Amino acid sequence: MEYIKTNVLGTDNVLKFAKKCGTKMVNISTDKVVNPTSIMAATKKLAEIMVRDDGQVSVRFGNVLGSRGSVIPIWQRQLDNNESLKFTDERMMRYFMTIPEACRLVIKAAEIGEPGQILILDMGEPKSVYNLALEILKKSGKEHLGMEKIGIRPGEVLVEQLMTEEEKSRAIKIDDFWII
């Protein structure tokens, strides 16, 4: 229910307020909306549609390294507690961006985004979460703690995508951004 309150009702409230103020709104979305497999992803997809239909702009994020929802602080806590690093699957691939890149994407969307558009940072190819965990473990100097595979959770996919095939067919590349 919280996903519906936040992603659907919250988006509706902000859209109404933006309209009342006559201002542009930039919706923060996620790569999980591409072929959604969870209620969170489905409600974020619905929010994207609401924003598009209202003539506002969305940005679609990959995983933001170091953010509150990032795996990095989780791994740091595990290392601080002398625990092994937990990872889901050796085959798991994700798109990563930094906090400054995420901020730049939102600002760029506010500057150049046209009604109904979605802007996505070109993050290159997806990266291996397993290899990232290995690198962090090595740099921590705590390699003796090792790593522990915990498996994929319900709704997770091995490789996330930034766009659907249909979106790719009409996306336009400007600098290091894709615009749908």
Closest Cα to residue 39, out of 15, 8, 71?
8
Active site residue 45: no
CA–CA distance from 5 to each of 33, 37, 59 (Å)? 17, 19, 20
Q: Is 22 helix (H, G, I), strand (E, B) or coil?
A: coil
User: Who contacts 46 (Cβ-Cβ below 8 Å, separation ≥6)?
Assistant: 7, 8
Give the span between the Cα atoms of 94 and 129, in whole angstroms: 7
Give the span between the Cα atoms of 44 and 32, in whole angstroms: 8
Give the span between the Cα atoms of 77 and 148, in whole angstroms: 15
User: Who contacts 85 (Cβ-Cβ below 8 Å, separation ≥6)?
Assistant: 75, 78, 79, 133, 136, 137, 145, 146, 147, 148
Candidates 5, 19, 24, 32; catalytic one:
32
Please count the helices (runs of H) and the strands (runs of E) in the chain: 7, 11
Active site residues: 32
